[in-house]
Structure 1
Amino acid sequence: MRRLYLARHGAADAFGELTDIGRRQSGLLGERLAGVPVDAVWHSPLPRAAASARELARHLPDVPVAEAAELADHVPHVPGAAETPPSWAGFFDGYDENEAASGRRLAEALVARFAKPPGTSMERARPGTHEVLVTHAYPIAWLVRHALDAPPSRWLGLNSANTALTVIEYRDGLPPTLVMFNDMSHLPPALRWTGFPEGTRP
Protein backbone atom coordinates (compact mmCIF):
# COMPACT_ATOMS: atom_id res chain seq x y z
CA MET A 1 0.00 0.00 0.00
CA ARG A 2 1.12 3.51 -0.77
CA ARG A 3 -0.71 6.40 0.80
CA LEU A 4 -0.21 9.94 -0.42
CA TYR A 5 -1.11 12.87 1.82
CA LEU A 6 -1.54 15.75 -0.60
CA ALA A 7 -1.58 19.31 0.68
CA ARG A 8 -1.66 22.66 -1.02
CA HIS A 9 0.93 25.06 0.40
CA GLY A 10 -0.06 27.55 3.09
CA ALA A 11 -1.45 30.99 2.29
CA ALA A 12 1.06 33.13 0.42
CA ASP A 13 1.42 36.78 -0.52
CA ALA A 14 1.39 38.29 -4.01
CA PHE A 15 5.11 37.51 -4.37
CA GLY A 16 4.63 33.82 -3.61
CA GLU A 17 6.10 33.96 -0.11
CA LEU A 18 4.42 32.24 2.81
CA THR A 19 2.49 34.60 5.10
CA ASP A 20 2.10 34.35 8.87
CA ILE A 21 -1.28 32.72 8.25
CA GLY A 22 0.36 30.27 5.86
CA ARG A 23 2.98 29.35 8.45
CA ARG A 24 0.28 28.79 11.08
CA GLN A 25 -1.73 26.65 8.67
CA SER A 26 1.33 24.58 7.82
CA GLY A 27 2.19 24.07 11.46
CA LEU A 28 -1.32 22.86 12.22
CA LEU A 29 -1.14 20.44 9.32
CA GLY A 30 2.16 19.16 10.72
CA GLU A 31 0.52 18.63 14.11
CA ARG A 32 -2.23 16.62 12.42
CA LEU A 33 0.26 14.47 10.52
CA ALA A 34 2.43 13.87 13.60
CA GLY A 35 0.43 10.72 14.36
CA VAL A 36 1.05 9.26 10.89
CA PRO A 37 4.12 7.06 10.20
CA VAL A 38 5.37 9.46 7.52
CA ASP A 39 8.32 8.17 5.47
CA ALA A 40 9.06 11.33 3.50
CA VAL A 41 7.89 14.87 2.81
CA TRP A 42 8.17 15.99 -0.82
CA HIS A 43 7.57 19.54 -1.94
CA SER A 44 7.30 21.64 -5.07
CA PRO A 45 10.34 23.75 -6.03
CA LEU A 46 8.40 26.98 -5.46
CA PRO A 47 9.23 28.92 -2.26
CA ARG A 48 5.71 28.86 -0.80
CA ALA A 49 5.59 25.06 -1.00
CA ALA A 50 9.15 24.58 0.25
CA ALA A 51 8.49 26.85 3.25
CA SER A 52 5.23 25.04 4.02
CA ALA A 53 7.00 21.68 3.92
CA ARG A 54 9.71 22.88 6.30
CA GLU A 55 7.12 24.28 8.68
CA LEU A 56 5.01 21.14 8.86
CA ALA A 57 8.11 18.92 9.04
CA ARG A 58 9.03 20.53 12.37
CA HIS A 59 6.36 18.21 13.80
CA LEU A 60 7.79 15.15 12.02
CA PRO A 61 11.25 14.67 13.55
CA ASP A 62 13.75 12.65 11.50
CA VAL A 63 11.48 12.54 8.44
CA PRO A 64 13.43 13.49 5.29
CA VAL A 65 12.24 16.55 3.38
CA ALA A 66 13.15 16.91 -0.30
CA GLU A 67 12.17 18.76 -3.45
CA ALA A 68 10.35 16.96 -6.26
CA ALA A 69 10.26 18.75 -9.61
CA GLU A 70 7.09 16.86 -10.57
CA LEU A 71 5.15 18.78 -7.90
CA ALA A 72 5.73 22.17 -9.53
CA ASP A 73 2.67 24.30 -10.23
CA HIS A 74 1.46 23.63 -13.77
CA VAL A 75 -1.61 23.31 -15.98
CA PRO A 76 -1.80 19.55 -16.55
CA HIS A 77 -4.28 19.55 -19.42
CA VAL A 78 -5.55 22.31 -21.69
CA PRO A 79 -9.04 21.23 -22.77
CA GLY A 80 -10.51 21.83 -26.17
CA ALA A 81 -13.29 24.36 -26.65
CA ALA A 82 -16.00 21.67 -26.52
CA GLU A 83 -14.85 20.35 -23.12
CA THR A 84 -14.20 23.72 -21.48
CA PRO A 85 -16.93 24.74 -18.99
CA PRO A 86 -18.37 28.22 -19.67
CA SER A 87 -16.99 29.50 -16.36
CA TRP A 88 -13.46 28.72 -17.59
CA ALA A 89 -13.90 30.42 -20.95
CA GLY A 90 -10.92 32.65 -21.62
CA PHE A 91 -8.74 31.09 -18.92
CA PHE A 92 -6.64 29.23 -21.46
CA ASP A 93 -6.33 32.10 -23.92
CA GLY A 94 -2.69 32.56 -24.75
CA TYR A 95 -1.62 28.97 -24.02
CA ASP A 96 0.30 27.81 -27.05
CA GLU A 97 1.04 24.20 -27.96
CA ASN A 98 4.52 24.30 -26.43
CA GLU A 99 3.14 25.38 -23.05
CA ALA A 100 0.36 22.80 -23.24
CA ALA A 101 2.84 20.05 -24.15
CA SER A 102 5.12 21.05 -21.27
CA GLY A 103 2.19 20.82 -18.86
CA ARG A 104 1.23 17.39 -20.20
CA ARG A 105 4.77 16.10 -19.76
CA LEU A 106 4.92 17.33 -16.18
CA ALA A 107 1.51 15.79 -15.42
CA GLU A 108 2.65 12.47 -16.88
CA ALA A 109 5.82 12.58 -14.79
CA LEU A 110 3.81 13.37 -11.65
CA VAL A 111 1.57 10.34 -12.16
CA ALA A 112 4.47 8.06 -13.13
CA ARG A 113 6.43 8.91 -9.99
CA PHE A 114 3.74 9.08 -7.30
CA ALA A 115 0.39 7.64 -8.45
CA LYS A 116 1.15 3.94 -8.06
CA PRO A 117 1.70 1.24 -5.42
CA PRO A 118 5.20 0.76 -3.97
CA GLY A 119 7.54 -0.66 -6.55
CA THR A 120 10.67 -2.06 -4.93
CA SER A 121 10.93 -5.31 -3.00
CA MET A 122 12.02 -3.38 0.11
CA GLU A 123 8.92 -1.17 -0.10
CA ARG A 124 6.69 -4.20 -0.64
CA ALA A 125 8.09 -5.90 2.46
CA ARG A 126 6.71 -3.10 4.63
CA PRO A 127 3.06 -2.67 5.66
CA GLY A 128 2.85 0.49 3.60
CA THR A 129 4.51 3.75 2.70
CA HIS A 130 3.20 7.14 3.77
CA GLU A 131 4.36 10.22 1.86
CA VAL A 132 3.38 13.86 2.24
CA LEU A 133 3.31 15.89 -0.96
CA VAL A 134 3.23 19.68 -0.51
CA THR A 135 2.24 21.12 -3.83
CA HIS A 136 -0.38 23.31 -5.54
CA ALA A 137 -4.06 23.15 -6.38
CA TYR A 138 -3.65 22.01 -10.00
CA PRO A 139 -1.37 19.00 -9.37
CA ILE A 140 -3.70 17.88 -6.56
CA ALA A 141 -6.68 18.20 -8.90
CA TRP A 142 -4.85 16.15 -11.53
CA LEU A 143 -4.01 13.35 -9.09
CA VAL A 144 -7.62 13.26 -7.85
CA ARG A 145 -8.89 13.13 -11.44
CA HIS A 146 -6.44 10.33 -12.19
CA ALA A 147 -7.49 8.37 -9.09
CA LEU A 148 -11.14 8.59 -10.14
CA ASP A 149 -10.29 7.65 -13.75
CA ALA A 150 -12.22 10.74 -14.86
CA PRO A 151 -11.83 12.48 -18.25
CA PRO A 152 -8.76 14.75 -18.47
CA SER A 153 -10.81 17.95 -18.40
CA ARG A 154 -12.37 16.93 -15.07
CA TRP A 155 -9.44 18.42 -13.18
CA LEU A 156 -11.07 21.79 -13.75
CA GLY A 157 -12.86 23.05 -10.66
CA LEU A 158 -11.29 20.57 -8.22
CA ASN A 159 -9.89 23.30 -6.02
CA SER A 160 -8.05 22.85 -2.72
CA ALA A 161 -7.80 25.29 0.17
CA ASN A 162 -4.43 26.18 1.63
CA THR A 163 -3.07 23.20 3.66
CA ALA A 164 -6.29 21.26 3.14
CA LEU A 165 -5.61 17.52 3.20
CA THR A 166 -6.37 15.11 0.38
CA VAL A 167 -5.46 11.43 0.80
CA ILE A 168 -5.17 8.84 -1.97
CA GLU A 169 -4.29 5.19 -1.43
CA TYR A 170 -2.73 2.87 -3.99
CA ARG A 171 -2.71 -0.95 -3.75
CA ASP A 172 -1.65 -3.66 -6.15
CA GLY A 173 -4.48 -4.98 -8.29
CA LEU A 174 -7.00 -2.36 -7.17
CA PRO A 175 -8.00 1.05 -8.48
CA PRO A 176 -6.80 4.00 -6.38
CA THR A 177 -8.95 4.96 -3.41
CA LEU A 178 -9.75 8.60 -2.71
CA VAL A 179 -9.81 8.54 1.10
CA MET A 180 -10.54 12.23 1.61
CA PHE A 181 -10.52 15.46 -0.36
CA ASN A 182 -9.93 19.07 0.76
CA ASP A 183 -10.29 18.26 4.47
CA MET A 184 -9.65 21.26 6.74
CA SER A 185 -10.60 19.84 10.12
CA HIS A 186 -7.12 20.62 11.52
CA LEU A 187 -7.68 24.34 10.91
CA PRO A 188 -9.79 26.69 13.05
CA PRO A 189 -12.65 28.34 11.13
CA ALA A 190 -10.74 31.60 10.66
CA LEU A 191 -7.95 29.81 8.78
CA ARG A 192 -10.15 27.70 6.50
CA TRP A 193 -10.96 28.26 2.83
CA THR A 194 -8.02 30.54 2.07
CA GLY A 195 -7.00 30.05 -1.53
CA PHE A 196 -10.62 29.88 -2.68
CA PRO A 197 -12.26 32.83 -4.43
CA GLU A 198 -14.45 34.77 -2.01
CA GLY A 199 -17.62 33.93 -3.89
CA THR A 200 -17.08 30.17 -3.62
CA ARG A 201 -16.38 29.97 0.11
CA PRO A 202 -19.24 28.44 2.15
Structure 2
Amino acid sequence: MATRHVYLVRHGAADPFGTLTDVGERQSELVGKRLAGLPIDAVRHSPLPRAVHCARIVGSCLPDAVVREAPELVDHVPHVPVDVPPLWAAFFDGYGAEEAEEASRAADALTARFARPAETETHEVLVTHAYQVAWLVRDALGAPPVRWLGLNCGNAALTVIEYRDGDAPTVVLYNDMGHLPAELRWTGFGAGTRP
Protein backbone atom coordinates (compact mmCIF):
# COMPACT_ATOMS: atom_id res chain seq x y z
CA MET A 1 0.00 0.00 0.00
CA ALA A 2 1.45 3.38 -1.06
CA THR A 3 1.99 6.03 1.60
CA ARG A 4 2.11 9.75 1.06
CA HIS A 5 4.66 11.14 3.50
CA VAL A 6 4.14 14.86 3.99
CA TYR A 7 6.90 16.78 5.77
CA LEU A 8 5.49 20.14 6.78
CA VAL A 9 7.99 22.91 7.48
CA ARG A 10 7.12 26.39 8.58
CA HIS A 11 9.53 28.78 6.85
CA GLY A 12 12.54 30.08 8.79
CA ALA A 13 12.42 33.29 10.83
CA ALA A 14 11.68 36.37 8.73
CA ASP A 15 11.79 40.12 9.20
CA PRO A 16 8.61 42.29 9.20
CA PHE A 17 8.90 42.61 5.41
CA GLY A 18 8.78 38.84 4.88
CA THR A 19 12.47 38.31 4.10
CA LEU A 20 14.35 35.49 5.81
CA THR A 21 16.77 36.73 8.44
CA ASP A 22 20.22 35.24 9.02
CA VAL A 23 18.57 33.13 11.75
CA GLY A 24 15.89 32.02 9.26
CA GLU A 25 18.52 31.01 6.72
CA ARG A 26 20.38 28.95 9.33
CA GLN A 27 17.13 27.32 10.49
CA SER A 28 16.26 26.46 6.87
CA GLU A 29 19.67 24.89 6.31
CA LEU A 30 19.37 22.79 9.47
CA VAL A 31 15.90 21.45 8.63
CA GLY A 32 17.16 20.70 5.10
CA LYS A 33 20.07 18.71 6.53
CA ARG A 34 17.67 16.84 8.80
CA LEU A 35 15.58 15.82 5.79
CA ALA A 36 18.62 14.95 3.64
CA GLY A 37 18.64 11.28 4.67
CA LEU A 38 15.06 10.73 3.42
CA PRO A 39 13.97 9.83 -0.12
CA ILE A 40 12.36 13.23 -0.76
CA ASP A 41 10.72 13.50 -4.20
CA ALA A 42 9.65 17.14 -4.13
CA VAL A 43 9.79 20.37 -2.17
CA ARG A 44 6.65 22.46 -2.62
CA HIS A 45 6.44 25.99 -1.29
CA SER A 46 4.14 28.92 -0.75
CA PRO A 47 4.57 31.77 -3.26
CA LEU A 48 5.53 34.21 -0.48
CA PRO A 49 9.23 35.23 -0.45
CA ARG A 50 10.06 33.86 3.01
CA ALA A 51 8.80 30.40 2.00
CA VAL A 52 10.43 30.54 -1.47
CA HIS A 53 13.82 31.38 0.06
CA CYS A 54 13.46 28.69 2.75
CA ALA A 55 12.45 26.08 0.13
CA ARG A 56 15.49 26.88 -2.01
CA ILE A 57 17.78 26.37 0.97
CA VAL A 58 16.02 23.14 1.96
CA GLY A 59 16.10 21.99 -1.69
CA SER A 60 19.86 22.57 -1.86
CA CYS A 61 20.20 19.82 0.77
CA LEU A 62 17.99 17.48 -1.28
CA PRO A 63 19.62 17.33 -4.74
CA ASP A 64 17.18 14.72 -6.12
CA ALA A 65 14.07 16.71 -5.17
CA VAL A 66 12.21 19.03 -7.51
CA VAL A 67 11.50 22.45 -5.93
CA ARG A 68 8.23 24.05 -7.10
CA GLU A 69 5.66 26.58 -6.03
CA ALA A 70 2.25 25.43 -4.79
CA PRO A 71 -0.22 28.33 -4.51
CA GLU A 72 -2.39 26.34 -2.08
CA LEU A 73 0.37 26.75 0.53
CA VAL A 74 0.10 30.55 0.67
CA ASP A 75 -0.37 32.15 4.09
CA HIS A 76 -4.05 32.71 4.85
CA VAL A 77 -6.58 32.31 7.64
CA PRO A 78 -8.02 28.84 6.92
CA HIS A 79 -11.25 29.14 8.90
CA VAL A 80 -13.29 31.95 10.39
CA PRO A 81 -15.52 30.52 13.14
CA VAL A 82 -19.16 31.59 13.32
CA ASP A 83 -18.89 31.83 17.10
CA VAL A 84 -15.46 33.32 17.66
CA PRO A 85 -13.86 32.16 20.93
CA PRO A 86 -13.47 35.21 23.25
CA LEU A 87 -9.68 34.85 23.35
CA TRP A 88 -9.59 35.24 19.55
CA ALA A 89 -12.15 38.05 19.16
CA ALA A 90 -9.56 40.75 18.40
CA PHE A 91 -7.84 38.51 15.82
CA PHE A 92 -11.06 38.06 13.84
CA ASP A 93 -12.29 41.65 14.24
CA GLY A 94 -13.37 42.86 10.81
CA TYR A 95 -13.78 39.43 9.22
CA GLY A 96 -17.14 39.14 7.55
CA ALA A 97 -19.02 36.60 5.45
CA GLU A 98 -16.94 37.28 2.33
CA GLU A 99 -13.65 36.73 4.18
CA ALA A 100 -15.03 33.59 5.82
CA GLU A 101 -16.04 32.22 2.41
CA GLU A 102 -12.60 32.93 0.95
CA ALA A 103 -10.95 31.30 3.98
CA SER A 104 -13.06 28.21 3.48
CA ARG A 105 -12.24 28.01 -0.24
CA ALA A 106 -8.51 28.37 0.40
CA ALA A 107 -8.59 25.74 3.17
CA ASP A 108 -10.51 23.32 0.94
CA ALA A 109 -7.94 23.79 -1.85
CA LEU A 110 -5.10 23.10 0.60
CA THR A 111 -6.59 19.86 1.92
CA ALA A 112 -7.79 18.71 -1.51
CA ARG A 113 -4.27 18.91 -2.88
CA PHE A 114 -2.19 17.65 0.03
CA ALA A 115 -4.34 15.85 2.63
CA ARG A 116 -4.90 12.63 0.72
CA PRO A 117 -3.10 9.45 -0.26
CA ALA A 118 -0.98 9.32 -3.41
CA GLU A 119 -1.05 6.63 -6.08
CA THR A 120 2.61 5.79 -5.48
CA GLU A 121 4.93 6.03 -2.48
CA THR A 122 5.65 9.75 -2.15
CA HIS A 123 7.85 11.84 0.14
CA GLU A 124 7.24 15.58 -0.18
CA VAL A 125 8.29 18.60 1.82
CA LEU A 126 5.78 21.44 2.07
CA VAL A 127 7.36 24.76 3.06
CA THR A 128 4.50 26.88 4.23
CA HIS A 129 3.19 28.96 7.13
CA ALA A 130 2.01 28.36 10.70
CA TYR A 131 -1.72 28.50 9.91
CA GLN A 132 -1.43 26.01 7.06
CA VAL A 133 0.49 23.55 9.25
CA ALA A 134 -2.18 23.95 11.94
CA TRP A 135 -4.99 23.42 9.42
CA LEU A 136 -3.47 20.22 8.00
CA VAL A 137 -2.81 18.81 11.49
CA ARG A 138 -6.36 19.65 12.55
CA ASP A 139 -7.68 17.97 9.42
CA ALA A 140 -5.53 14.84 9.94
CA LEU A 141 -6.86 14.50 13.48
CA GLY A 142 -10.47 14.93 12.34
CA ALA A 143 -10.89 17.81 14.79
CA PRO A 144 -13.57 20.50 14.35
CA PRO A 145 -12.51 23.41 12.11
CA VAL A 146 -12.13 25.84 15.01
CA ARG A 147 -9.38 23.65 16.52
CA TRP A 148 -6.74 25.06 14.16
CA LEU A 149 -6.63 27.99 16.56
CA GLY A 150 -3.83 27.59 19.05
CA LEU A 151 -1.94 24.89 17.10
CA ASN A 152 1.16 27.03 16.93
CA CYS A 153 4.25 26.07 15.00
CA GLY A 154 7.82 27.36 15.31
CA ASN A 155 9.99 28.57 12.47
CA ALA A 156 11.67 25.63 10.69
CA ALA A 157 9.84 23.15 12.95
CA LEU A 158 9.05 19.78 11.38
CA THR A 159 5.62 18.16 11.32
CA VAL A 160 5.05 14.82 9.56
CA ILE A 161 1.71 13.39 8.42
CA GLU A 162 1.24 10.11 6.55
CA TYR A 163 -1.72 9.35 4.29
CA ARG A 164 -2.71 5.83 3.15
CA ASP A 165 -5.71 4.52 1.23
CA GLY A 166 -8.38 3.09 3.49
CA ASP A 167 -6.86 4.42 6.70
CA ALA A 168 -7.05 7.60 8.74
CA PRO A 169 -4.10 9.99 8.42
CA THR A 170 -1.31 9.52 10.95
CA VAL A 171 0.33 12.51 12.62
CA VAL A 172 3.84 11.13 13.15
CA LEU A 173 5.49 14.28 14.45
CA TYR A 174 4.34 17.78 15.37
CA ASN A 175 6.37 20.98 15.79
CA ASP A 176 9.64 19.08 16.27
CA MET A 177 12.66 21.38 16.63
CA GLY A 178 15.23 18.72 17.56
CA HIS A 179 17.42 19.71 14.59
CA LEU A 180 17.76 23.29 15.88
CA PRO A 181 20.13 24.38 18.64
CA ALA A 182 18.42 25.98 21.64
CA GLU A 183 19.03 29.55 20.48
CA LEU A 184 17.23 28.90 17.16
CA ARG A 185 14.15 27.25 18.67
CA TRP A 186 10.81 28.86 19.51
CA THR A 187 11.11 31.70 17.03
CA GLY A 188 7.76 32.61 15.53
CA PHE A 189 6.01 32.38 18.89
CA GLY A 190 4.95 35.13 21.24
CA ALA A 191 6.65 35.64 24.58
CA GLY A 192 6.20 32.84 27.08
CA THR A 193 7.81 29.98 28.94
CA ARG A 194 9.06 27.23 26.64
CA PRO A 195 10.35 23.74 27.46
Name the TM-score, length of structure 1 as normaliser: 0.93
Q: Using the alignment, how far apart are the partners of 1:73 and 1:97 within structure 2?
A: 19
Q: Which amino acid aligns with 2:100?
A: A
Percent identity of the aligned residues? 66
- 1:1-202 alignment, distance < 5 Å: 1-81=3-83, 84-119=84-119, 123=120, 128-199=121-192, 201-202=194-195
Other structure's SS at 1:110 match: helix
Moved over 3 A (4+): none
**How far off its partner does 1:199 sit?**
2.0
Q: Which amino acid aligns with 2:74?
A: A
Q: Deviations over 1:55-97 (max 9, x none)?
A: 111111131100000000011110122xx33321221011122
Q: Is the 8 A contact 2:20 2:54 kept in 1?
A: yes
Q: Which runs of 5+ in 2 are unaligned?
A: none
* Superposed CA RMSD: 1.0
Q: Is the 8 A contact 2:40 2:64 kept in 1?
A: no
Q: Which amino acid aligns with 1:109?
A: A
Q: Using the alignment, how far apart are the partners of 1:110 and 1:100 within structure 2?
A: 15
**How far off its partner does 1:131 sit?**
0.3
Q: Using the alignment, how far apart are the partners of 1:195 and 1:85 within structure 2?
A: 22
Other structure's SS at 1:42 match: strand
Q: Which amino acid aligns with 2:162?
A: E
Q: Deviations over 1:128-149 (max 9, x none)?
A: 2100000000011000000000
Other structure's SS at 1:38 match: coil
Name the TM-score, length of structure 2 as normaliser: 0.96
Task: State the aligned residue count.
Answer: 193
Q: Which runs of 5+ in 1 are unaligned?
A: none
